[in-house]
Structure formats: C-alpha cells, structure tokens
A = this chain, B = another copy of it.
Amino acid sequence: MTEATPARRRPPTIHDVAREAGISRGTVSRVLQGGHNVSPEALKAVNAAIRKTGYVVNRHARSLVTQRSDSVAFLLTEPQTRFFEDPNFNQLLRGCTTALAKHDIPLLLMIAGTEEERRRIGRYITSGHVDGVLLVSSHSGNPMVELLDEARMPVVACGKPLGHTSTTPYVAADDNEGARAMVRYLLGTGRRRIATITGPLDTPGGVDRLNGYRETLAEAGLPQDPALVAEGDYSRAGGEAAMTALLAAAPDLDAVFVASDLMADGALAALEQAGRRVPEDVAVGGFDDSTIAANTRPALTTVRQPWDRISAEMVRVLQSLIAGEPPASVILPTELIVRASA
C-alpha cells in the first residue's frame, strides 16, 4: 500500500532487437524462425541483441499471422468425479504437460462435464484457439469425438474411442496382452479357479482386458464360467462390491484378475471382510501399477501401464497430425509387476 506500483513495462519487441542489432525486423524474424538465409554476422548480432534486450517473442502477434496458436488442449470429457479420483489421470496429465513443455507448447486444461461446458469448449476449440486436442475419455459414444472430427481438428485419444464411425487415432497400452500376461502368471502359480473383475464394458480397457482373460483361460483348456466374471466401474467401491458378488457366486475361486488397481484395492477389502487370506486363499492381480499399488495390503501384483510413454506418444502423434501427416495409432507394451498379492 505504501509503495507505488510501477506499471509493468512493455516488453521489448522485434523492433527493439532490430535497432539494437542494426538490421531490419525481417532479418530478426528470420533468426527467430531458425536462422535460415541469414549471414553469420547478422545471426550473431541478432542473438546478442536478443540477449541484451531480454526479448521474448509475442505469441499473440505470431499466432495472428501464422494462424497457429502453438498451444494444445487437454480435454477431459469423463464425468468429472470419475477421472479426478483416478490416479492414472494425474500421471497422464503430468506426462503430457511435460512432453509439451519440451516443445514450448502450453497445455490448456478443459473439462467438459456439463452440456453447456461441452458447447462452450467445442466453440473455443474449433475456433482455432488451439492447434490440437489430447482427448481423455473412455466411455463410448462421446459427443465431442464427432464434433472434433467434423471440425477437422487434430485429435489423439488416450485409449481407443469406442462407438464412433470416425477413426480418431489413439495411444494405449496393450490391454489384451497385459491381461494375458497376468492370467498366465496366475495359472503358473497353480491357480485354476480364476475370476475377473472387469472395467465398464463400454470402455476399451474393460473389453480388451476381459478378452485377454478369456482367451488365456481357453488356451489353457479351462472352461468359461460366467460366475467368475463381474463387471466393475473402475472405482474402489465398485471393486469391493464386485468381489463380494464373486465370492457369493463362486466361493471356490482361488484367484481374481482385477482390471484396475483401484478396484483391486476394493477387492482386497472385500476379501478381508470375508476372511480370505491374500494370496494364500485368493491371489489378487491388478492393472495399472498406479501409485496405490505399492501401498495396498498386501502390496499388489499388477500390470504396469507405461504412462510416461503413453503421454509422450500422445504428444508426438498429435504434433505429427498438426504438421499434416497422416494419422497412426500406437499400442505400447505393458509389464508384469510381481509384488505380494499374487
């Protein structure tokens, strides 16, 4: 209150740099673009002038002429609570932010929870305020997918978007093979009555992991018993409920493959409640290797999703899309992490 607040000075412009370097603004700009067609002396003078003036490019001015925003939206379309409780979400968000930062591209976080938000965000995105979209949504029939597709927006999804005619490129872990690895491991430890708690069956992780489970049992010559399959919703409470249901339907189960760590944590609670020891009576395998996996009791044997690679690939694919290259999806291998629960 006592000190006068000096107005923030206007930052130096390309004009200041040009004057300082004693050359034209066009040449300064050329240096900024990579220094092609610029003499070594000019290059040197400009760089010195930039350092001296503390020049930083004005992105608005640049964007106005290039018609690119050099920014990217990270768009959440899931019902809000779900994803904001999911430890995977944080890893993905952090990974994408970091990967983009390396290219000096800011990430705009957008949450399209309500219909109104969807409209506003749709308008914002399709008006050229971002160059592309990192799309996070797992449930099928997401209206944003169609909208973005029609607007010809470069989009890459996290996980294969289900229930669309459009073919949005995506990046995902190999859900099927991850599930197979886990079930093979459980079989290898002598388990024969292996149950599963799936993710929602309108999500790729729900479907593909269930298929991996089924195929592996079939290959081992084991029967498909409907009593051994329960659908969860990726929440802890959902995992607990599903486990309770499984114990009622198939009291003789000796293992359970759970399609997410969070649900597995809930399953552990249900098993404890039922007086089953883990892993002695029932082996429990999770999926994700999220931050909670090492903290469950017992610590969770699980399938690691390579979130660092997933987010890095999402950014890479999106940038290639923005550059006009044709789309391509990528599937990344998972890794079995053995701890105490199986």
Contact = CB atoms under 8 A, between A and B. Distances in A.
A80 B90 CA distance: 11
A94 B123 contact: no
Interface in A1-33: 1, 5-6, 8, 10-11
Contact of A11 (B98, B128, B297): B128
Of the listed residues A1, A56, A69, the one surrounded by the most CB atoms of chain B closer than 10 A to its CB is A56
Nearest to A151: B8
B5 A152 contact: yes
Interface stretch (A102-110, A206-214, A242-250): A102-110
Interface stretch (A60-68, A138-146, A175-183): A60-68
A85 interface: yes
A96 to B, nearest CB: 9
A97 B84 contact: no
Of the listed residues A6, A11, A128, the one surrounded by the most CB atoms of chain B closer than 10 A to its CB is A128
Interface in A165-179: none
Interface in A41-95: 56, 58-61, 63-64, 67, 69, 71, 74, 80, 84-85, 87, 89-91, 93-94
B326 A297 contact: no
Interface in A96-142: 97-98, 101, 104, 106-111, 113, 117, 120-121, 123-124, 127-129
Interface of A: 1, 5-6, 8, 10-11, 56, 58-61, 63-64, 67, 69, 71, 74, 80, 84-85, 87, 89-91, 93-94, 97-98, 101, 104, 106-111, 113, 117, 120-121, 123-124, 127-129, 151-152, 236-237, 269, 291, 295, 297, 326
Nearest to A81: B291
Contacts of A104: 120, 124
B80 A69 contact: no
Contacts of A71: 108
Nearest to A7: B152
Given A64-B60, A84-B91, A8 B69 contact: no
Nearest to A265: B295
A22 to B, nearest CB: 24
A56 B123 contact: yes
Contacts of A121: 101
Given A56-B123, A129-B59, A106 B97 contact: no
Contacts of A117: 101
Given A60-B64, A64-B64, A84-B90, A269 B291 contact: no
